[in-house]
Amino acid sequence: MSLDTGATRTPAFTFRLERDPSLQRPQRLFFMLFSLLALVAPLYYQQNLGGEGLYLPYNASTWIAALLLTAAGLLLAMRRHSLVTPNYGLALCALPAGLLISGFVTGIGNPSEWLLRLGYVLGGFGFFIALFQFRLQRQHQDMALVLVLCGIMLQALIGWIQLQQLPFFSALVPIASSSQPIAIFQQVNLTASYLATGLPLAIYLATRPGALHAPWLIRILPYCGLVLCSGVLLATGSRVGLLGGALGLLLALAGRRSFLIRHKGVALALSLSLLLGSGFLLSDKVEKGSSAALNKIERLQQGGQADVRFSVYEISLDTIANAPLFGHGLGSFQSAWQEERGEFQDRHPELDIGPRYSHPHNELLFWLVEGGLVAVAGILICAGTVAWRLVRLGSERGLLLAGMLLPIVLHTQVELPFYISSPHWFLLLFLLYLTFSQRPASLNLKLSQAARGLCTGLLLLLPVLGATFLLHTLVANAGIVNYMKNRGQQSAFLQPAIHNLYFSGHATYMMMKESLLIGYRLDDKQRSAGFIAWANDYLQRTPDTQLFYDLAGAYVHIGDHRRAQQALERGLYIYRHNKRLEQALLSLKAGDIDSYLKGLAEQHAERSAQPSEALHGSSVQTAQGETP
């Protein structure tokens, strides 16, 4: 992707692939798969419980598209007996290498979490390397960026629909009760950072070489993107999105200042597009979102504990200090962090930190907790390499790409975008590919015929097995939703989830809870004993608030009030000021807890008698929430 603005006229941009002689079969294959990844896959939606990862269906569809593109690119390398690699490739490999070393040294405490975490990182790195194998030229990269902008605009359009609360779209996209523009991501900050990336991207596409000679539809697209993305971004009220968008815009405009000085008409059109988006498109929605952002900034400026993130960061640093070199192990964040949380709250008993956390809302702190200094050293080496590459690219291209990268990178320091949204992960990786795409190196693959056949077979199996697993997660996810719609009366809905690597823990949780309630109704103490054994093991990995409550109830049912009190006190040690746990402890001490269990049994019996057909219309929460 060259940003040279010299006198040489560049070829006109076109979407008519058959008229572009530079497009060979590898490039055509790339655009077919990349269109699927950028435009189609992120739009998939089905009812879900919210949360992160594969609890959000669009992540499964996005990974299927990414696996297809990754396998296709690496198969091209096998066919040519040559692997195209980026400059500074060894430095970039430090990121996955650091995570692998730390993951193996600390051991496998939670096998499914360990496997999925490493698979996410290694799969992303494979996608990054696969992009080089398509050998895209400058005009191909520009064409891909247009597809990326179209995908971002689609999310902005969904956000606008959500702001208008149009009911006939509710089956196709999530609709938030608060009228927030959550797009397909079901979380407003994710929407904001995604749209913020579109602003510097639109600046580049409006000012790139050949833009003034492109067909009119391609010429107006960046301006439409600025109007739509800036308006919906302001309506989000997201601090990190607004900051990332503003800084990204400034960097992009600084990078293209020479072009804009020479082409004042383009500069005026870009300014009018931003003004139209911020002032007229959404009017009162923009005003409300901007006011919300200002209120959040004022609260942040108060310092101390005005924003709960300060407490989260402090607890994370204390957790890191206990295992600084290799961390506590991949998948161990919840158990290690929640333990330290209790000690922190001993020092600050007045604070209410809130619910269970699965991430410290900062990517570096997260990997320091789980992988220690070894893992983060790899991340920092990789980040330093990217920064050095941006500097070497020069003021124009370097500033433009830095502006595109900044919104998502900034988001990683205050939240967990990659664990909620795979489109953010692959968008960042594609922008990193553009950063390293000039003058790549080539590595000859000297493999025997048997080794080449084995690698080819594995690359063919990879998307098939991956897509099969991901499709099964969609079925499992739908089964959990249907189970909850039927108020837990048809356990057959949970069977796909029980046999799914990702959802088995959640499904088992629900099955054991149902068994416990049946035990209350039938006065079957064996069921409660089985629940106790399972719950104590589960809480070692995931200290879930509700499970402490249920565990205490199971202990009461078998007549062990002392351990019931210990379970509640353990829960309150971690989750101070939790009203439900506090009330349960008071009831237990007052001797009222047995009547409560009797009431639960009666409720379960009454619910079991209801026909499930009457419950099919139950609504399911789609906004992000805590999952067991």
> By the 8 A CB rule, do 203 and 131 touch?
no
User: What mean pLDDT value characterizes the chain?
Assistant: 85
Task: Return the pLDDT at 30.
Answer: 96
- In degrees rounded to 5, what are phi and psi of residue 443? -120, 120
Give me the residue label for tokens 């992120």. 42
CA distance 450 to 94: 30
pLDDT above 50: residue 619: no
Q: What Å distances lie between residue 361 and 78, 164, 452, CA to CA? A: 40, 30, 43
pLDDT above 90: residue 380: yes
Which positions ≥6 away from 615 have C-beta within 8 Å? Answer: 485, 486, 487, 489
> By the 8 A CB rule, do 572 and 563 touch?
no
254-273 pLDDT, tens per residue?
A: 999 999 999 999 999 999 99
Once rounded to an integer, what is the mean pLDDT over residues 511-524? 88
442-482 pLDDT, tens per residue?
A: 999 888 889 999 999 999 999 999 999 999 999 999 999 99
The amino acid sitting at 329 is G
Least confident of 198-202, 335-339, 424-428: 335-339
The SS3 call for residue 171 is coil
Start-end of H helices in 412-448: 417-420, 422-435
Q: If pLDDT is split at 50, 70 and 90, which confidence band does 356 have? A: confident
Q: If pLDDT is split at 50, 70 and 90, which confidence band does 304 have? A: very low
Tokens representing residue 491 in the block: 């356990």
Neighbours of 17 (CB within 10 A): 13
CA distance 194 to 191: 5
Q: Following DSSP, what letter does each residue of 134-157 receive, concatenated?
A: T---HHHHHHHHHHHHHHHHHHHH
Percent of the chain with pLDDT over 90: 53
What's the Rg (C-alpha) of the chain? Answer: 26
Tokens representing residue 191 in the block: 């929407």
pLDDT above 90: residue 419: no
CA distance 221 to 200: 13
> By the 8 A CB rule, do 245 and 407 touch?
yes
